[in-house]
Amino acid sequence: MYDTNVGCKYHEEGVLNRHYHGLIWTDSFLTFVKTKPMKHLTILVPDGENNLSSIVGTYKIFTRANEYWKKTGKKELFNIQLAGISKKVEYYEGLFTVKPHTSISVITKTNLIIIPSLNHNYQNAVKGNKAMIDWVRKQYKEGAEIASICTGAFILASSGILDGKSCSTHWAVEEEFRNMFPEVDLQTDKLITDEHGIYTNGGAYSFLNLVIYLVEKYYDRQTAIYCSKVFQIEMDRKSQSSFTIFTGQKLHGDELVRKAQTYIESNLHEKISFEHLSSKFSVGRRNFDRRFIKATGNTPLVYSQRVKIESAKKKLETTRKTVNEVMYEVGYSDVKAFREVFRKVTGMSPLEYKGKYNKEAAV
């Protein structure tokens, strides 16, 4: 049998081979090898009506990864525990109940923490899980790595350890997240971020891709491939851009910017001059741009592009119009420029997008 964690071969009956790869192993080190403790994985169970699927899915995949390692002659890598601040948490109006293995208060040391996705009232979720947030911050400072799933990023960001770091979450909560955590570098185009022992992912069931990513990182590529086949999860996805529905960022108090947004959205066919638009609202161009970026997170140009591309996406999804027809209808006359902006926003060409989401038109 061979323990890949330490590079030491030994026989099933426990007779150790002291000469391996040119090294001579001492009795004390060989004793350490045989008794080396497994890592600890904490899957959090926050209080509140949150989402059950990411807890169950994460538990099942890591458990299967452990089983696969045992079958291939290795020791289980993780001791997997669900942990919370309550003895049980109800989901979906009491239809399901989770009883965590333990309380976070008794876990003094863990190696990896998974924060599941939350339901829609994020400020309440943060207030109701303050003890958990404090515990996450403490564990990270003491060396634990942390992964947040989808909107679990709200709990992670509330700990302060995301400030100045990159993060992803569901595209639908981008504006609310930016307003609550302006110090975090939010990148909703990315499916997974990996920075300083912190992992985050995009929305909904894309958490499966994050879990497979973590399995590969902690176990190995072969185990990740095995789990991806068992659970039928596509490996190596990088972006959630093609799933994004751009609805505009309007949870701000700048009335001038709101009027500018309405003008942009109502004049899709035009090539808008932002110099003219700023003068229309009696404000200098530099000040206009500054206010627009502060309110929406985008420059007026990028906002206009995203509005046009969102309109183009809907036309490609629901009509038999050609790419060129759609391009003209959303105010582009240069095919190359349209394709470049479309790919930048969605991660695919207009033709690829049409083929993926409009099977009827592709026939």
pLDDT (0 to 100) of residue 242: 64
Is the pLDDT higher at 181 or at 265?
Answer: 181
First to last CA, the chain: 55
Q: Which two tokens stand for residue 140?
A: 């990270």
Given a contact cutoff of 8 angstroms between Cβ atoms, the answer to whether 182 and 295 are in contact is no
Angle formed at CA 297 by CA 295 and CA 300, multiple of 5 degrees = 80
> What pLDDT digit, counting tens, does each position of 109-132 carry?
999 999 999 988 899 999 999 999
Where is average pLDDT lowest: 90-99, 189-198, 229-238, 306-315?
229-238
State the average pLDDT over residues 157-174.
94
Q: What is the arithmetic mean of pLDDT over 224-243?
A: 82
Alpha helices in the chain (DSSP H): 27-35, 53-71, 122-128, 130-141, 153-158, 174-180, 207-218, 221-230, 255-266, 274-280, 285-296, 300-318, 323-329, 335-346, 350-357, 359-362
What count of residues does the chain have? Answer: 363
Whole-angstrom CA distances from 58 to 64, 105, 149 are 10, 22, 10
Q: Report the half-sphere exposure of 308 (CA within 13 A, side-chain side).
A: 29
Q: Domain boundaries in the chain?
A: 37-241, 255-362
Lowest mean pLDDT among 58-62, 83-87, 246-250, 298-302: 246-250
pLDDT score, position 298: 87
Q: What is the pLDDT of residue 359?
A: 74
User: Residue 295: what pLDDT?
Assistant: 87
pLDDT at 19 over 90: no
In this predicted model, what pLDDT tens digit does every residue of 106-115 receive, in sequence order?
999 999 999 9
Q: Does position 105 have pLDDT exceeding 70, yes or no?
A: yes
Is residue 11's pLDDT more than 50? no
Q: Report residue 147's pLDDT band, with 50, 70 and 90 as the boundaries.
A: very high
Give the 3-state secondary structure of 329-353. HCCCCCHHHHHHHHHHHHCCCHHHH
Predicted local distance difference test score (pLDDT) of residue 268: 85
Task: Tell me which CATH homologous superfamily contains domain 255-362.
Answer: Homeodomain-like (1.10.10.60)
How confident is the model at residue 36, as a pLDDT?
61
The whole-chain average pLDDT of the chain stands at 86
What CATH architecture is 37-241?
A: 3-Layer(aba) Sandwich (3.40)
* More confident position, 21 or 304: 304
